[in-house]
Amino acid sequence: MDERLRFNASAFYYDYKDYQAAQWGGLSSIIINADATFYGVETEIIGSVTPDLAVSFNVGWQQNTVKDVPVGAGVADRETTFAPEWTVSGLARYTYPEHVFGGQISFQMSGSYQSAVWHNLNNFDANRLPSYTLVDARISWVSADDRFIIAAFGKNIFDERYDSIGFDEAILIGGSLNAPGKPEQFGANFTMHF
């Protein structure tokens, strides 16, 4: 494709001895040392569809097991915390080919997906944070000498409701305390380079 496309891929495998895993226990976390394995694949495609349109797409997949985690009166293999099985992201950026007010205007859309994660090593149903998808948008104007940049942006433009972190408080209140992720945000900024 006339060198307009780049593809990167990597695979990983980790075999841990005495992996430090955090297990939430009411008012504080407990660090345990346990054997663990992590493996997965990450891929990335970056390309210029046209001279004015650039795109990128990323996919990651991973599996993990922390062995012999104390759970209740026994031990069990568990998945580690805040490690999604799937992550997907993409971006498209179009730069208008003609000059506008002596500079260039660009339009950008991006999105990301994260599958569900555990917020506690116990892996109880109440410790699961659901998957979510976020979409962002941006329009910017850059002066011909790159000195001035004016931009307007929207983050989480569809106001996806999701939890970013959780604390297992079953011992104290019979449930979990979850902190919500950032809601939709809209704004603008101005940059001047000296």
Q: Running DSSP on this structure, what letter comes out for residue 80?
A: P
Nearest to 75 by CA among 63, 65, 60, 90: 65
pTM, 2 dp: 0.86
Q: Which residues touch 37 (CB under 8 Å, ≥6 apart)?
A: 13, 14, 15, 16, 64, 65
Q: Which residues touch 14 (CB under 8 Å, ≥6 apart)?
A: 36, 37, 38, 39
Indicate the fold that domain 5-192 takes in CATH: Maltoporin; Chain A (2.40.170)
Amino acid 73 reads A
Query: Do the Cβ atoms of 69 and 77 come closer than 8 Å?
Result: yes
Q: Is the pLDDT of residue 14 over 90?
A: yes
For the segment 151-176, what is each residue's pLDDT rounded down to a tens digit? 999 999 999 999 998 887 766 776 77
Residue 84's pLDDT band, with cuts at 50, 70 and 90, is very high
pLDDT score of 109: 98
Q: How far apart are CA 95 and CA 45, in angstroms?
A: 19
- Token readout for 174 is 């019979």
Ordered by start, the domain boundaries in the chain are 5-192
Residue 135's pLDDT band, with cuts at 50, 70 and 90, is very high
Residue 72's pLDDT band, with cuts at 50, 70 and 90, is confident
